[in-house]
Amino acid sequence: MAEAQGGANEGVSGEGRKPLLRALGGEAVWPPPMWLMRQAGRYLPEYREVRAQAGDFIALCTTPNLAAEVTIQPIRRYGMDGAILFSDILMVPWALGQPLRFAEGEGPVLEPVRDAAAIGALQLDRMRERAAPIFETVRLTRAALEAHAPKVALIGFAGSPWTVAAYMVEGHGSRDFHTARGMAYADPQTFGKLIRILVDATTDYLLAQIEAGAEAVMLFDSWAGMLSPGQFRRWVIEPSATIVRNVKRLHPSIPVIGFPRLAGPLIGEYASRTGVNTVAMDTAMDPRFAASAVAPNVGLQGNLDPLALVAGGIALETEARQILAAMRGRPFVFNLGHGIEKVTPTEHVSQLVRLVRSGG
């Protein structure tokens, strides 16, 4: 299905293609297309209504009609150029059979995977079966967008192996993922086995989303920046490059966005070695440095500070205009440098949309 759906824009050039796909395909579109990380979420009153209806977070992620509704809500309200599947990066370990719950005020809680026995208990062969509701969400969302917002592209996503493994080993969120980083150093053979399973699972998870109608996919490596350069190359770049090759082998026209958060000076090497079409910049990245470090045919995405969006007004306009000025003339997608904050006023998002649409 994805080759028919996801490749629907292939062979359609210029203005006939969706703006986001044009930019992700290497075209310098201006004003740039935009979407926001976590654009569907707790800052929206309509999201909170659906969340209450679902009960718990995993139920929301695995109830296709509700998850599709949440995915589309920011498109209705703001008219973004991209709709990103509403889900969570930890749905992959959940689909592999690792117990997962989201505790109120505590975040994700998983049964830690720290030895060969626990890794061997992961069920790669059942991943697609357990994650089937998520793929159905993609199908429902793509159909709704084609009917009501045909210029909006649907983005699928997954967590990158390092970041997902960090949660799986630690068993919860962490400021430094001390246990996971320690395991990567002390027992790289066992840790490498977990990474290889996640490479296979993540590849299949993204392929299933593409088959269901995703037109682009994104790899989130939220905790990439806590690794040393050598560990970054081993556990961030190499697994991500394998996933990109695997996806491109079957779906060469599907763009891949990579987000190596806090990669710093390694952003150029990440871009060139992973083969992603676009690199997402985090809040701390200087867009001018990124533009000099990343090849001009590779797109950049980002990187407004989410707190500037919370502030709104002149602060928001100043920060956004600086990013737009630095990115003009190259493939670029306007976004945040991390996920939108739950306290963000909706009118500030509207202010940002108007500013970006004007080209700054």
Active-site residue, from 77, 88, 130, 200: 88
Q: Could you read off the pLDDT of 202-214 as tens digits, one per residue?
A: 999 999 999 999 9
State the first-to-last Cα distance of the chain, in angstroms, to the nearest integer.
Answer: 38
- Whether 152 has a pLDDT exceeding 90, the answer reads yes
The pLDDT of residue 15: 55
- Whether 135 has a pLDDT exceeding 60, the answer reads yes
Active-site residue, from 38, 114, 139, 330: 38
Residue 144 CA, chain-centre distance (Å), reads 21
Region 155-184: mean pLDDT is: 97
The pLDDT of residue 105: 74
Active-site residue, from 42, 77, 128, 321: 42
Tell me, yes or no, if 234 is annotated catalytic. Answer: no
Report the alpha-carbon distance of residue 115 to residue 291 in Å, rounded.
41
Handedness of CA 187, 246, 23, 5 (dihedral sign): negative
Tell me, yes or no, if 167 is annotated catalytic. Answer: yes
The pLDDT of residue 360: 85
Q: Could you read off the pLDDT of 296-345 as tens digits, one per residue?
A: 999 999 999 999 999 999 999 999 999 999 999 999 999 999 999 999 99
Active-site residue, from 43, 47, 78, 167: 167
The pLDDT of residue 127: 97
Which amino acid appears at position 289 of this protein? Answer: F
Instruction: Kindly indicate whether the domain formed by 2-357 is annotated with CATH number 3.20.20.210.
Output: yes
Nearest to 216 by CA among 77, 19, 14: 19
The pLDDT of residue 55: 87
Tell me, yes or no, if 51 is annotated catalytic. Answer: yes
pLDDT, mean over the chain: 95
Tell me, yes or no, if 88 is annotated catalytic. Answer: yes
The pLDDT of residue 106: 77
Do the Cβ atoms of 200 and 124 come closer than 8 Å?
yes
Active-site residue, from 17, 22, 51, 114: 51
Q: Which tokens belong to 196?
A: 């290889």
Burial 248-267 (b: 16+ CB within 10 A, else e): beebebbbbbbbbbbbbebb
Tell me, yes or no, if 245 is annotated catalytic. Answer: no
